[in-house]
Structure formats: structure tokens, C-alpha cells
Structure 1
Amino acid sequence: MKKVQRALNNKVPPPLVAALCIWPVLFSANYSLSSLRVDRVLASLLLLAAIAIAVLALLEFRKLKTTVNPLEFDNVNQLVVSGIFNFSRNPMYLSLLIVIIATAVAFHAYGVGVIMAGIFWLYMIQFQIKPEEAFLKQHFGSEYTAYSQVVRRWL
């Protein structure tokens, strides 16, 4: 338990990780006035999807009165497996990944966007999701194991 708790305490909050991944996308953006409407529409739809996913996840946490903070597990009192969590074990991280992709589409920074989305995805798995999974498995045992066998990490 101490090893998992220590791993969780040595992290950057996921929204900040996403923001750090968005900066290179913005700096490499193509700000030409000939932007395609299709790209703007697609970016808007992706952003709306990300917001919807995050809100649905937050509502599930609130409904079950458990912590939303991924760096603070002292108040974890329930395993959230309902609502959007039927489709993804990490919908809030998925929403952040979609925001990075939406930014790349909106600013025509596809190459850097793919790289930064990949960096975010790998970082989140290694430094956020794996320690969380270890904690949840230890804290909720077979209930979490059964859930993780049915629902994927991302989608």
C-alpha cells in the first residue's frame, strides 16, 4: 500500500499533463486563414464529446460521493462502475486525450498532435493508471479485478 501511495504522491495532476501536451501543438499550429470548415466542425465535435465524457464521469463520482482527485486516495470509498464507467475505466483521462486531439485538428498540427497525444497516453498509463489500478485492486480486490476484465482502460 505504501508503494502505491508513494507512486500516487509523486505526480503531476492529469489536467496539467494534458495542458503541457497541448502547448507544443499550439506552437506548431498552422494559423492560415484557409482553415477547412470540416476541421473546425470536427474539432468542435471532438471537444464537445470530451466535455460530455468528463461531465458524465464527474456526475458518477458525485452521485456515489467518492473522490474525484486522482492524486488523493484517502477518500476513496466506492468503486465507480456505473454510467460512463461501463464503457471506459478512465473516462476523464480519455476526455483529456480527446482535447489534445481536438486541439491538433483545430490548429492543423496533426504531426505534433499525434506525437503529443501518444506521449500523454503513455504517460498516463505508466505514471497514473497503473498505480491507480494497483491501489484499486488492493482496495477492492475481486470486485475491481472482475470490473477490469469486462471494461477496457480507455475504450
Structure 2
Amino acid sequence: MFLTVPFFFINIYFLIPFLYFFPNFHQNNWLLFETNYELIVVGSLCVILGRLITFGSMLYMRKENKQIQNNFKLHTKGIFKYSRNPGLDGMFLFFIGFGILFPSFLIFSGLVFYFFYMRFRVKIEEEFLKKNFKEEYLDYITQTKRFLLF
């Protein structure tokens, strides 16, 4: 239940841009700034690049995954050489682009919520990986950043 409620809100977060089709939501008091052509291009590029990074990392994991029952493989090559969580890096970039395209208080507050929630989830996953891969994972931590930019 503790992880389900934030997951529900994050999925609702994806639906917020559809509120722009309602005229009352378009009023300037909801917007942080006005978009222009350059911002639309930058936001669109962030969204597309973010999705490509996320899907690319998932495809790489599925291709390289040799999981048999509960035997997991630690992915340290390919895109995972640069970031321990490339799928989340892609999602962060996607949400930043999302915020540029739909610059409202709701979008940016959702981005902050999503960032802190995913940091919490990553710490849980890291404990699982430390327990299962021990020294191999500790070596990987010293060589690779948690996220691409930080």
C-alpha cells in the first residue's frame, strides 16, 4: 500500500495535460510561463529523447536478461555503464520536457513529487541489489553514477 498510492498519483500525473482542453484550465493564473516556438521544440526533444532512453534501457535489459527463476543478472554494460538507472534518467528528461510543454504549477509540483518518490524507490532497489550481488554491486556503485547527471 505504501508504494501503491504514490504510483497511482504518478499515473494520474500523465493525464494532467488533457486538462488543457478545458478553457478554465487555460487561464494564465495556472501557468508558470508562456510557451513559444523554441520552448515547444526543446520540450518536444526532451520528451522524445527521454522516451528513447527509457525504452532503450528496457529493451537492453530484456535482451540481456538471462533470468531463470530467481537468478538475476546485474547489468553493467551498454547504457548501464553510464548510469545505474538509465530508465529513470529517461523518465526525468521526459517529465522535464512535459513541464516545458505544459508549464503549470501542477506539472512542476508533480515533477518534484516524482523525483523524490523515485529516489526512495531506487534506494529500496539498491538494498536488494547489495544483498544479492554483494561485492560486484559495490564495485559497480564506485564506477557508475546513480543517475546520469548526479
TM-score interval w.r.t. the shorter chain? Answer: 0.7 to 0.9
User: Per chain length, whose mean CA-contact separation is higher, i.e. which structure has more relative contact order (CA < 8 Å, sep 6+)?
Assistant: 1
* 1:137 corresponds to which of 116, 120, 130: 130
What is the distance in 1 between the residues matched to 2:52 and 2:59?
Answer: 11
Contact in 2 for aligned 1:88/1:154 (Cα 8 Å): yes
The CA RMSD measured in Å over matched residues stands at 3.0
Q: CA deviation at 1:20?
A: 3.3
1:70 corresponding residue in structure 2? none
TM-score of the superposed pair, with normalisation by structure 1 = 0.72
Residue of structure 2 in register with 1:104 after alignment: 99
Map of 2:41 onto structure 1: 41
State whether residues 85 and 146 of structure 2, in contact with CA within 8 Å, keep that contact through their aligned partners in structure 1: yes
Aligned residue-pair number: 138
**Equivalent residues of 1:79, 1:140 under 8 A apart:** yes
- Closer, same or farther: CA 38–147 of 1 in aligned 2, 3 Å: same
- 1:124 aligned to 98, 118, 121, which one? 118
What's the secondary structure of 1:81's corresponding residue? coil
Are the aligned partners of 2:35 and 2:100 in contact in 1 as well (CA < 8 Å)? no
Unaligned runs of 5+ in 1: 1-8, 68-73
1:115 alignment partner in structure 2: 109
Distance 1:23 1:80, change over 3 A: same
Cα gap change, 1:53 to 1:19, in 2 (>3 Å): same
The TM-score normalised by the length of structure 2 is 0.74
Matches within 5 A, 1:41-80: 41-65=41-65, 75=70, 77-80=72-75
Q: State the alpha-carbon separation in 1 of the partners of residues 123 and 106 from structure 2.
A: 26
Contact 2:130–2:138, Cα closer than 8 Å, also in 1: yes
Pair 1:115–1:24, CA change in 2 (3 A): same
Alignment of 1:86-97 (within 5 A): 86-97=81-92
Which stretches of structure 1, 4 residues or more, deviate above 3 A after TM superposition? Answer: 12-18, 20-32, 111-114
Percent identity at matched positions?
24
Stretches of structure 2 that go unaligned for 5 or more consecutive residues are 29-33
How far does residue 23 in structure 1 lie from its aligned partner after superposition? 4.5
Question: Is residue 25–residue 104 contact of structure 1 (8 Å, CA) maintained in 2?
Answer: no
1:5 corresponds in structure 2 to none
Larger radius of gyration: 2
Q: Deviations over 1:102-149 (max 9, x none)?
A: 11111232x4433322211111111x1111000000000111111112
Deviates more, 1:75-84 or 1:111-120: 111-120
